[in-house]
Amino acid sequence: MKKAASYLGDKQIAVTESEAVAPQSGEVRLEVAYCGICGTDMHIYHGNMDGRVHMPQIIGHEASGTVVEIGEGVDTCRIGDRVAVRPLWFGDVHPFDKGYPHVGKEVKIIGIDAPGGMQASWTVPAYTLHHLPEGVSLEHGALAEPAAVACHDVRLGRVQDGETVVVIGGGPIGILVALVARGKGARVIVSEINEKRIEKIESLGFEAVNPLEEPLGKVIASKTNERMADVVFEVSGAQAGVDAMTTVLNVRGRIVIVGLHPQPRSVDLFQFFWSELELIGARLYEKEDFDAALELMRVGQLPIEDLITDVYSIENVKAAFEMIENAPEGIKYLVNCGA
């Protein structure tokens, strides 16, 4: 029996049958190879999104697979193509969107608002597919989605060669942001409080700072001869990160908000006035970001293998969620969906 992982509520995930849904016009059916577990999946697991997720819901949106069936009118792929999925459903065009449907009024995330990729068989719109370059494995392809997030963040942050970048929060997205920013020629310093993650960050060649040991602004001043940073990425999603982000920048420095802050935060607006700082929101990704992420994988700029902490079979998916909850120092956990 081909299997799927369904969220039932209250930290309950059931392994159920994955039904093969025949693709309609404009759709394709995939045999899913791997699906990553993301921070959003953990929010779902903890019940924080029960008002949005319709249970039971097959979750997962960081997936790779192989095309096995093609619906009418699809000419962008062939049976056997290896692909990653950009899991966005845009809905109707709305004037509010201004041509940016990835953050538009009607956007839905497949894997949150509709059945996701943590299953053996997954039918999706054909436009969501991105072909994996030769040499990029299906296992690595499952990280195309979070890598695209990082490419989007760095693009909106306008990171330039020679700039100093501070990343606050050294989890999976923070590390990917650091890697993409370094690829632009920036000096990157990562702020992280988990010692195991600090070891991983340093093993990847980055300068790491634990802000619990010394104020981040003071450390950045010392490391830059008081020039400070040009760009900061707030990836922690914590008030402490928000407090720190305005202390590390130079004049007209740029702050990119990457972490999720569901509740209003206290922000030092005086620093925006005093140093003419800029605040930029960055959410999800656009097609060009997926393409950029896969190109970085193709040329070997993203050490994906070093970011994969473990791979679980779909039968043991509950153990994977429990591991992430109990050992947050891990970076990226994948589920082998049995393809």
In 3-state terms the chain splits into helix, strand, coil percentages (rounded to 5) of 30, 30, 40
Question: Catalytic residues, which ones?
Answer: 40, 43
Cβ 335 vs Cβ 310: under 8 Å: no
Phi-psi region of 241 (alpha: psi -120 to 50; beta: other; left: phi over 0): alpha
**Which among 166, 285, 153, 314 has a CA at the least distance from the CA of 227?**
166
> Which alpha helices (DSSP H) does 46-122 contain, by range?
none
- Helix residue ranges per DSSP H, the chain: 39-45, 138-141, 144-157, 172-183, 195-203, 216-223, 239-245, 269-275, 287-298, 304-307, 317-326
DSSP per residue, 17-31: E---PPP-TTEEEEE
Q: Sign (positive/negative) of CA torsion 193, 242, 11, 119?
A: negative
At a CB cut-off of 8 Å and minimum separation 6, what does 158 contact? 231, 254
Distance CA 57, CA 136 (A): 30
Contact by Cβ (8 Å): 256, 282: yes
